[in-house]
Structure 1
Amino acid sequence: MTHWRALAVLGTAQFLMVLDTSVMNVSISQLVEDFDTEVTAIQAVITLYALVMAAFMIVGGRLGDILGRRRLFFAGLTVYAVGSALTAVAPSLWLLALGWSVIEGLGAALVLPAMAALVAENYRGPERAVAYGVIGGLAGAGIAVGPLLGGWVTTYLTWRLVFAGEVVVVLVVLCCNRVIPKTPRTDPGYGLDGVGAALSACGLGLVVLGVLQSGSWGWVQPRNAPFTVLGFAPTFFVIAVGGAVLVGFQHWERRLAARGGEPLVHFALLRLPVLRSGLMVLLSQNLILLGLFFTIPLYLQVVQGFDAFQTGLRLLPVSVTMLLASVLASRLGQRIGARAVVRLALTILLLAVVWLLATIEPVIDDTQFAAAMAVLGVGMGLLASQLGNVVQSSVGEEGRSEVGGLQYTAQNLGSALGTALIGSLLVGALAQAFTVHVADDPRISAEARKQTGIALESGIAFVSSQQVHTAAEQAGLSRDDADALTESYAKAQLAGLRVAILAAGGITLVSFLATSHLPAVRPRRAAADPRTETIS
């Protein structure tokens, strides 16, 4: 019994991390109102949370080796509780970002790699597959409870109570620390690669920043950019600098390993085909999931006008089916191979995307929407049931923490890019469609077209049609112009949403290319640890 109590403690941590993001996603409209800001600002806060985790997850994995995984797990939970407490009382947007995005993100970066390694340490063979299935199921439960709990609390009480409740849960978990067996440090004889940590965090940060700001800066033609590069928008420049820093990080790590030092990342690990494929599919999974979970609540809240609780109810099918699929399919990979399960999952996700595209209409069909959400959850649950075990089983005991860091870096980089990239495409498609509709509508006067063009040059926000109508009237436009502009904007909203969902489908399709090296029968450990190889 004690054996499985440890899994309950470890799984609770996973549940809390997922709960956070899902609560934020259904509370977007309320957060915009509470902090008197725009959707893009909340999008930045959500992205920053995932970015902080992605940037420091590798560091967290290495610290687990140095300080001990169990110790770091509970230390990270303490940091996480401090961030939750600050978030619960945050009076301003920047304090919300500090508490949730930064402090909670850092806590999660310490907790999650240690959790992945502790699961692998404490369970073997079929038990490990079940354990990772349960972890995936609890992640699904977080997604299941988050929209409903967050929606109800946000609508009838306040979203702040969710974060106050997290502090209480963490305190209970800390009191149960004895159920997790103490384990020796893997390699306490080296320090942290500070240069590598700085380079990796800076490179990842710049790449995601560029993608995130593309909606307001523009990709080529500058719009609301703080500076330009040779007359062009700085987006590609910022992304390219980030990429160059990451290349420098790779060279630094290889040189450090060649000199006999202990790098932050042994890039030789990525020579393992199974690990490489697992990480790529993990990145894709979270890019798709977080991109859709940013887009769909906007459709439900901004276009349809549902409150947070009504939004949570309509997201419940995806949450429930993801939970069930991830738990029930935990051993399926051992029977037919993880590769077959993942490809089946991606096929189901494509079906869900097509179904979702058909449901994005001015008036929602709740039956069709619920069915599409349920199918989406099945696909995501099948992925969640396999990938954690595949990644952790691809290396030996010494590589657990490092691979855990890579695992959650891939997941959270996917989450950050999903929110940033899909959000950017949504806003860009909205602006393009609105421009076309305004130009083609004969009911709109020349003066209204001129004012709309000036407004679009400074950027466009995803707001309700009523807000557009009010803004048009406040700008002195006639009622006929305001009505026509509002109708054009409503059509552009649906076009932007469809482009965002279609992009998620395109990513799903490309993800099939990353599945070729996944285990065909069952995950096996590498015959040798490639970290011990000499890197030239």
Structure 2
Amino acid sequence: MGRWGPLIALATAQFVMVLDQSVMNVSISTLVDDFDTTVPAIQAVITLYCLVMAMFMLTGAKIGDIIGRRRAFVTGLVVYACGSALTAAAPTLAVLALGWSILEGLGAALVLPALVALIADNYTGHERKVAYAMIGGVAGAGIAVGPILGGWATTELSWRVIFVGEVVLVVGVLLAARLLTEGSRSRSAPRLDLVGTALSACGVGMIVLGALESSTWGWVRPKDPPVEPFGLSPTLFVIAFGGTLLWGFTAWQRRREHAAGDPLLHLDLLRSPPVRAGLIGLFAQNLILMGVFFVMPLYLQLVLGMNALETGVRMLPVSVMLFIASVAGSRLSSWFSVRAIVRAGLVISGGAVLALMATVQPDLAGPVFAISMGTLGAGMGLMVSQLGNLVQSSVGGSGRGEAGGLQYTGQQLGSSLGIALIGAIVLAGLTGAFVSKVDQDERISAQVAEQVGVAAGTGVDFVATGQIEAAARKAGFDDATAGALVDDYGKAQLLSLKAGLLATALLVLGSLAFTRDLPRTPSASGARPPGPDTAGQREREPPAGRNRRADDSKATPLERGNDDTV
């Protein structure tokens, strides 16, 4: 397979992991019928996959440090393949959750941190930049291609075929794993911090759970929560509890470090400005991308009436341009700084989101929509081309697993919060705009307007206008009133979607404020991304002919030497 054989194997693994997060959302109704269950139950299974992956990402990274990254990569793939096979044959919802949500989630938590570390172990200099850009592009492509693949497979064959295909791809990656080389490890392997594992898993899990369930529970006013503490939605309580657990996690890590133990995460990683800026950038990238990917399917499917396959095709320009721009962007760092490229990506993405606002109309502006989506992909691709390489190249070789765990934890948080925040804005905007338009519509009597206001008190769901018409007729309204309600609801839909896109554009603008710590000068091939010139933040090579110090396992990842710097 040549010099790029390892990258093909790693990129295929990345594609499979990301695909699972987007491929089945378009098949929810089919899953409901197959398992004779409800939509919330299937959504819970999908949520649980993301939850398990986010909870154990840091632990998966540490296990890679203990048993070796290549071994962790292979072990995770085996677990993942077993989960995919079980999912493909699942006879009940419980088996589906075990295979898809738990086994695949745990497998991904082992694979992904090892994957990004193995890239740095197998490539140096410009090749490493290209490799990280390729991995980022493949991740974006997986998110965009998922709905197309899921829609096609579910319509023409069966959703089970997707998981059979995943098993085949994983077997191919396992056969190619022998091509992967692993960097040297410290003499004494670290021990797994069980208390830190519990605190980090529960803390991250609570935050992600609260964000993902906010659309069901409500943010402040309860919608349909399992409990109502003090008469309020549990969302903010769950997120606050998760934040408290993460505070306890950081305190425990400091205690472990001071006691010369093995922490789950060396907090020095977060004190490095380039690492911190890179992680924030990856968080913002996923938050923005998933915000758009929440709004656009609502517009294409529920406003314009497209099916899942048609929706996926319309969103394909994002995937194509993201991949192209990520690969092309890796070459730009020889002439432009990481900060300049990332900022350009954010500005381009923000402009694209604003352009998409103009295309949200009763009829699709096809060419303009495609160009806007492609431009968004180009902006995201420029960010992708820099951030993964920056984070991994700013730490020592022994810290790459932990940095990889942080990367994917940040990306999961960004994805879940992007969906939650933009979703909350769209639904709140829909409710407010619908009630307002009904109140101002002279075709609708004051009595009907009052009924609508009371019914909308707990929020209005985003549904096709046909359902609003059916509900109006079921309530006994005449044709003129029903038509007016449908018209007002359609206008409210467009306004709420534009509000969601505007909020996404503001998130892009806010993200620019966190780019000041990104490297400011171009990096020549083979040189590390420039950062603060401090001993604790530079990777240091030991003098030629000398062994690394005996207590290397106790050094922080930023202090340990790195065999191959970028």
TM-based fold match above 0.5: yes
C-alpha displacement of 1:137: 3.0
Distance change >3 Å, CA 479–CA 81, structure 1 → 2: farther
Preserved contact between residue 38 and residue 461 of structure 1 (Cα < 8 Å): no
Q: How does 1:207-286 map to 2 (within 5 A)?
A: 207-286=207-286
The answer for the alignment partner of 1:392 in structure 2 is 392
Distance change >3 Å, CA 300–CA 458, structure 1 → 2: same
Using the alignment, how far apart are the partners of 1:264 and 1:369 within structure 2? 45
CA deviations 1:262-307 (Å, max 9, x no partner) are 1111112111000000000000000111121122112111111111
Q: How does 1:148-187 map to 2 (within 5 A)?
A: 148-181=148-181, 185-186=185-186
Distance change >3 Å, CA 337–CA 401, structure 1 → 2: same
Structure of larger gyration radius? 2
The answer for the alignment partner of 2:534 in structure 1 is none
Find out whether 1:527 has 2:499 as its counterpart. no
Mean Cα deviation higher: 271-280 or 96-105: 96-105
Secondary structure in 2 aligned to 1:517?
Answer: coil
CA deviations 1:151-193 (Å, max 9, x no partner) are 3323333333222211111122222232223556556533211
The answer for the alignment partner of 2:526 in structure 1 is none
Find out whether 1:199 has 2:224 as its counterpart. no
Q: How does 1:367-446 map to 2 (within 5 A)?
A: 367-445=367-445
Distance change >3 Å, CA 241–CA 349, structure 1 → 2: same
Distance change >3 Å, CA 467–CA 533, structure 1 → 2: closer
Letter in 2 for 1:14: Q
Using the alignment, how far apart are the partners of 1:285 and 1:94 within structure 2? 34
Q: TM-score, normalised by structure 2?
A: 0.87
Using the alignment, how far apart are the partners of 2:85 and 2:152 within structure 1? 20
C-alpha displacement of 1:42: 6.1
Letter in 2 for 1:214: S
Identity of aligned residues (%): 54
Using the alignment, how far apart are the partners of 2:396 and 2:386 within structure 1? 18
**Structure with the higher helix share, 1 or 2:** 1
Preserved contact between residue 66 and residue 187 of structure 1 (Cα < 8 Å): no
The answer for the alignment partner of 1:293 in structure 2 is 293
Mean Cα deviation higher: 487-496 or 251-260: 487-496
Secondary structure in 1 aligned to 2:362?
Answer: coil
Mean Cα deviation higher: 444-453 or 415-424: 444-453
CA deviations 1:380-439 (Å, max 9, x no partner) are 111111111000000111111111111111111111212222222222222222222233
The answer for the alignment partner of 2:562 in structure 1 is none
The answer for the alignment partner of 1:340 in structure 2 is 340
C-alpha displacement of 1:100: 3.1
Using the alignment, how far apart are the partners of 1:317 and 1:249 within structure 2? 41
Using the alignment, how far apart are the partners of 2:38 and 2:357 within structure 1? 26
Using the alignment, how far apart are the partners of 1:452 and 1:91 within structure 2? 43
Distance change >3 Å, CA 402–CA 284, structure 1 → 2: same
**Higher relative contact order, chain-length normalized (CA < 8 Å, sep 6+):** 1
The answer for the alignment partner of 1:127 in structure 2 is 127
Using the alignment, how far apart are the partners of 2:213 and 2:493 within structure 1? 20
Find out whether 1:503 has 2:514 as its counterpart. no
Distance change >3 Å, CA 344–CA 33, structure 1 → 2: farther
C-alpha displacement of 1:44: 5.3
Q: How does 1:348-363 map to 2 (within 5 A)?
A: 348-363=348-363
Using the alignment, how far apart are the partners of 1:171 and 1:499 within structure 2? 44
The answer for the alignment partner of 2:327 in structure 1 is 327
5+ residue gaps, structure 2, are 524-528, 532-536, 541-554, 560-566
The answer for the alignment partner of 1:49 in structure 2 is 49
Mean Cα deviation higher: 31-40 or 148-157: 31-40
Distance change >3 Å, CA 362–CA 47, structure 1 → 2: farther
C-alpha displacement of 1:15: 1.3
Q: TM-score, normalised by structure 1?
A: 0.92
CA deviations 1:39-69 (Å, max 9, x no partner) are 7776655544333222211111100001111
Mean Cα deviation higher: 306-315 or 480-489: 480-489
Distance change >3 Å, CA 83–CA 435, structure 1 → 2: farther
Using the alignment, how far apart are the partners of 2:41 and 2:483 within structure 1? 28
- Figure out how many residues of one structure are paired with residues of the other and give that number: 534
Mean Cα deviation higher: 164-173 or 277-286: 164-173
Preserved contact between residue 6 and residue 180 of structure 1 (Cα < 8 Å): yes
Using the alignment, how far apart are the partners of 1:420 and 1:496 within structure 2? 15
Distance change >3 Å, CA 499–CA 402, structure 1 → 2: same
Distance change >3 Å, CA 94–CA 374, structure 1 → 2: farther
Distance change >3 Å, CA 228–CA 148, structure 1 → 2: closer
Using the alignment, how far apart are the partners of 2:97 and 2:514 within structure 1? 34
CA deviations 1:175-232 (Å, max 9, x no partner) are 2232223556556533211111111121122223333333343333334333334343
Using the alignment, how far apart are the partners of 2:145 and 2:518 within structure 1? 31
Using the alignment, how far apart are the partners of 2:327 and 2:267 within structure 1? 32
Using the alignment, how far apart are the partners of 2:306 and 2:36 within structure 1? 19
Mean Cα deviation higher: 401-410 or 466-475: 466-475
Mean Cα deviation higher: 461-470 or 447-456: 447-456
Preserved contact between residue 212 and residue 424 of structure 1 (Cα < 8 Å): no
Preserved contact between residue 183 and residue 397 of structure 2 (Cα < 8 Å): no
Preserved contact between residue 9 and residue 173 of structure 2 (Cα < 8 Å): yes
The answer for the alignment partner of 1:514 in structure 2 is 514
Distance change >3 Å, CA 333–CA 37, structure 1 → 2: farther
CA deviations 1:417-466 (Å, max 9, x no partner) are 12222222222222222222233333334554455345434543222111
Mean Cα deviation higher: 171-180 or 251-260: 171-180
Preserved contact between residue 213 and residue 424 of structure 1 (Cα < 8 Å): no
C-alpha displacement of 1:149: 2.8
Mean Cα deviation higher: 388-397 or 41-50: 41-50
Letter in 1 for 2:383: L
CA deviations 1:112-164 (Å, max 9, x no partner) are 10011111111111221122122223224434543433333233333332222
Find out whether 1:110 has 2:110 as its counterpart. yes
Using the alignment, how far apart are the partners of 1:377 and 1:308 within structure 2? 20
Letter in 1 for 2:277: S
Using the alignment, how far apart are the partners of 1:305 and 1:388 within structure 2? 38
Secondary structure in 2 aligned to 1:463?
Answer: coil
Taking only aligned residues, the RMSD between alpha carbons, in angstroms, comes to: 2.6
Distance change >3 Å, CA 58–CA 312, structure 1 → 2: same
Preserved contact between residue 208 and residue 420 of structure 1 (Cα < 8 Å): no
